[in-house]
Amino acid sequence: MGNKVDKNTDDKVRLDKWLWAARFYRTRALAKQAVEGGKVHYEGAKAKCSRVVELDAKITIRQGADEKTIEVKAISGSRRGAPEAALLYSETAGSEKARSDLAVGRKAMGQTTISDGKPTKKQRRDLQRFEQQQL
């Protein structure tokens, strides 16, 4: 009768739950969607949400235009503050360099923001001025 099972044990944690606890995604549902959508690779292969996370595993996460390769340093199934969550993983040096190089390239190309919506009033006016100058 004294055997109370703790459902939040840290020895076996699902991939989607670990990503949520490490604060890569705001909700577990978003973490699950990312894993199912192929945006998360575990040890170089497409992963399932139910995959058990192990220490020193390499996880590749694609978020927007950035791709991070991280190494699991600790396992936790509970979401805590950002300073504690940052202790769960470390980004590889190659990944940091690649992300910074891509950011510099995007900035040089003027692609700091990508908009899918309609242009603002100022953007429309600039576009009209440009078109008038071309005629």
Mean pLDDT of 41-67: 93
Residue 49 pLDDT: 92
Confidence of residue 28 (pLDDT cuts 50, 70, 90): very high
Q: How far is CA 52 from the centre of its chain?
A: 18
The conformation of residue 86, written as its DSSP 8-state character, comes to G
Percent of the chain with pLDDT over 70: 88
Is residue 22, in this structure, part of any structural domain at all? yes
Is residue 87, in this structure, part of any structural domain at all? yes
* pTM exceeding 0.75: no
Return d(Cα 59, Cα 3) in angstroms, integer: 35
Structure tokens at 59: 């996880």
Domain range for 58 is: 1-104
Number of domains making up the chain: 1
Confidence of residue 8 (pLDDT cuts 50, 70, 90): very low
Is residue 130, in this structure, part of any structural domain at all? no
